[in-house]
Amino acid sequence: MAINNTNTVSTKVGLDLTSCYIRIYGRLKIDGSYEVFFNVYKDKASYTANNQDLINSQLDFDFSEFITAPLTSNQGYDYLHDLVIAKLVERGLDIAKLEKVDLV
């Protein structure tokens, strides 16, 4: 599961990154909620080449994990992507520049 982001995000050293590839990972909790983690890469090629090249710690944006409300059996990956996009918009990104990709 992933999001293509074309919002500009600043780095901690003051450079601007005009896009990034955000892999989404969830951990099911006992109550049916998910703890959602963001793994951010410069682009999809960086993820594909070596998925250890995370850039989260270099970015000046809140990509910290969050916990969803308990999900039902009808709420699949597409729904989880919607929750992730809503959280990123809440944190300041433009929804028009977030695209769901790699749904499985």
40-93: per-residue pLDDT in tens? 999 999 898 877 788 999 999 999 999 999 988 787 778 888 999 999 999 999
Give the global pTM.
0.89
Task: For residue 32, give Cα distances in angstroms to 12, 65, 97.
Answer: 35, 16, 30
Question: Would you state the pLDDT for residue 17?
Answer: 92
Letter for the amino acid at 95?
Answer: I
Domain ranges of the chain: 2-92
The CA distance from 18 to 8, in Å, is: 4
